[in-house]
Structure 1
Amino acid sequence: MPTYDYKCSACGHDFEVFQSISAERLTECPECGGAVERLIGAGAGFLFKGSGFYQTDCRSSDYNKAAKADKPTASPPKKDEKSASKKDAKKAQ
């Protein structure tokens, strides 16, 4: 059930009412008995609690394995390979 905000046009009293969507609007201020107007609210907000939620929280282990396999592995050539290729180039000359 939603919470509705009301404001009295006579005394300016602001108040909230927890009522069903199908319930009739309030017409009378509980403070002075004047006419009230239902305000447009922002609605419910999100509350983030805990350690957080990440993209991978709901992924299966199979999905994670496939994602790792799809990533390109760009590793620089090892020092031994560089020196070996230079030695081979010198020998060829």
Structure 2
Amino acid sequence: MPTYHYRCKSCGYDFTEHQSFDDEPITVCPECHEQQVRKVFSAVPIEFKGSGFYRTDKK
């Protein structure tokens, strides 16, 4: 199950939730109970391992 990061625009509370793809996004803050919660998107880290990347590639 994917983990989603949420932040409340009203109080600034940050939290993460494990949700299925079929679940509705969370819209109500568990701290202040306002409907100001939005998903926080961030870059996914990519790590290339092994030989054959960049320096050893054929030109």
1:39 aligns with 2:40: yes
Q: Percent identity?
A: 41
Question: How many equivalent residue pairs?
Answer: 49
2:5 is matched with which residue? Answer: 5
Do the aligned partners of residues 7 and 43 (structure 1) sit closer, same or farther apart at CA in structure 2, a change above 3 Å counting? same
Give 1 or 2: higher helix fraction. Answer: 1
Unaligned stretches of 5+ in structure 1?
47-52, 56-93
Across the aligned residues of Structure 1 and Structure 2, the Cα RMSD in angstroms comes to 2.0
> In structure 2, what residue type is equivalent to 1:40?
F
Unaligned stretches of 5+ in structure 2?
52-59
Which of 1 and 2 has greater Rg? 1
Larger RCO, structure (CA 8 Å, separation 6 or more): 2
Moved over 6 A (4+): none
TM-score (norm 1): 0.45
